[in-house]
Chains A and B, each alone.
Chain A
Amino acid sequence: MKKLINGVDQIVSEMVEGLVAAHPDKLRAIENTNVIVRADAPVQGKVALISGGGSGHEPAHAGYVGEGLLDAAVSGEVFTSPTPDQVLEAIKAVDSGSGVLLIVKNYSGDVMNFDMAADLAEAEDITVKQVVIRDDVAISNPEDRRGVAGTTLVHMIAGAAAAEGKSLDEVETIAQGVADNVRSMGVSLSPCTVPASGKPGFTLDENEMEIGTGIHGEQGVERRELMQADAVTEELVQHVLDDMHLNDGSEVALMINGQGATPLMELYIVARKAMHLLKDRGIHVKKTFVGEYMTSLEMTGCSVTILNLDEERKRLLLSGRE
């Protein structure tokens, strides 16, 4: 294992320390929790948004803490959900009395720990709602799907809605609307190494790729012979579209997300093809994101995310922060 770290046990705390030290005007940390909150939290009169999960997905989620986005991010160990205590500390730090929305990716650990935290918060008379994101179409049963890059679009759109002063119920409805209308699928060309294990999660030959990978260095749904960018893009886009109800004239947002070690150059090659494919189907791309939004340490590969936009989602996404 070759990593720029000082020790496996300090990774997350040292990352958090670095983040707040680099952006003291915008962020602060709650001591001994690995929770990062907006420097001005709690923001009076505003619904607070919290997301979190295991670390190793940077910029998710701490990179989304800020005005018009999240109020707090809770970082667990690498690829390990944070504990209920950590989430509770975040909830207490950002609640202004207007309520808190938890944006949770659908993994058993995350769901359990955030649930337990919500129970603890309610016992302290804080109103908490949750939206669970399951955008990964690589998993066939919709209930079991993982939350992946599409989660960051929930941060942006729900964040913009909360910044407008909407109520907790309204923000929850909007966030749920994004969750219901966003789909993703990923491919990996090389694995990543979880520091605690010290070895790559799987091995791939020079001519192999894993299709349907998640964001935790786990294997994908299927191993294939490596294909060219256009063919891979076509497969990912087709899988995503097969799961959506888009028509000629539908409006969407498109995200081409790098998994951590993919050159931007390659992501733009994928983006170009994805945009062609959507255009051919009469689908209008109103907003395109190309870059790293939800990574898996140093994995190479990318995911394609498509969000079906209604008028409200479009307005909030185009006016909001990214």
Chain B
Amino acid sequence: MTVGVRLDEAAWGLLHQAMDVYQHDARAVARLRHQVARLEQPLRIAVAGPWRAGKSTVLNALMGEEVAPVEGADGVFTWYEDGPSPHATAYPVGQPPQELTVVKSATGMRVDLGWRVGEVRDIVVRWPTRALRQVTFIDTPALAAVDEQGHAPVLDRVLRDSDAVLFLSRDGRDSDLRVLESARDSVVGQAAPVNVIMVLSRADEVGGGRIDGLLTARQLARRHHRDPRVGALAVNVVACSGAIGLAGRMLSEADFAALATLAGASRAELEAHLLSADRFVRGELPVHLDPEVRAGLLDRFGLFGIRLATTLVRGGFDTRVTLSAELIRRSGLTELRESMTRCFVDRRDTLKARSALAAVEALVRAEPVRGADELVAAIEQILAGAHEFRELRLLVALRNARLGFDAELAAEAQRLVGGDGVGLAARLGVEHEATVQRLWEVAADAQWRWRDRAEDPLLPLAQRRGAEVVVRSCEGMLAELAAGGR
């Protein structure tokens, strides 16, 4: 749905232009070739965050299986790619790649790294799963706090190697935001924060394990999202309890049976035993449950998860499938996946083009040669000219409420430029199965209204410019509809 030059073509052209400029530098050419190849590969999404933010848990929850982390792989980037059979390869520094043994388990797999820490930089795990068809996940080491020079080496590599980032934070505290801010010093990086979703992980721990903790976490996420400082860093903020989500996705019949047994006890009786983890494992439960089963439940669900699950079972989610679905929904995992689809997967081309631009910019900065200025100019031209980036910039401006649109208009503009998803239906705010005729009508109407706004001399310039971008998006949609697409 693009009018004018396509962004991915522009990125491809830029990479080849850069290859011409750097033709005498074999290393640079290799890097650029790698970038060209990346344009065709699945989208790379890195899961990054500070120490014990729940990176591997969120990753497992997204894949629906227990595959992360690789045992003993501290400080290693672990790549999860789609593959025909389970397979793991370690890439030690300065040594040939080494196959690792993969042990399949009931709930996923275990990879053990027989290496000493520090020698291995990357582990590539191939794992046949649907979740990896379109994306490659990267499990990253803990982000350290920003050092004196304002650098965060791990985050730099994360941003270099991935197209999009799930930034995990327990509570979105200042020091976490500072780490993320430190990475925004390039032209491409400043253009639009489109590649980061902030995840308030461990949402189940909010409110000290109260039963409404996840709801509160969701409110917190919304509050963060409205915060201009966060809005400048992340395209969306989602509260998600990786642990509950994973437990929901992997809910086995045995677990369900145990939970159902627990739910069978009276609420008051059970409550006393769910006061603390110790009491739950060691106490005398009113119903019979093996201590090992209890420990297993506690390990997978956490105390909060057990409280939530028993409440849900009592509340009518009394089959494994419904309970699983409700747990996943409540954990925020559904929202996270939707958000990822909307912000990352649907914008795959934009994100990849962005990575390519960033890579060329980094190269030009690191090794300025003759003709590099033209490359920088080309990058800026693409950033300024590509309608996708203009839409993204408008989105950021709308989020920061810089333009001064009232809330309703801002919401509509946001929807039209793809803030709620880039599909035609999502942009136009109509039901999924609407006819082409209806889409056309809505799009044309939106175009007229926003054109009026763009040409209204009474409005401030910034608002008129914003409206122009919206008009352009509407025109694009109409063009796509005219071409017969949906």
- Are A and B associated in one complex? no
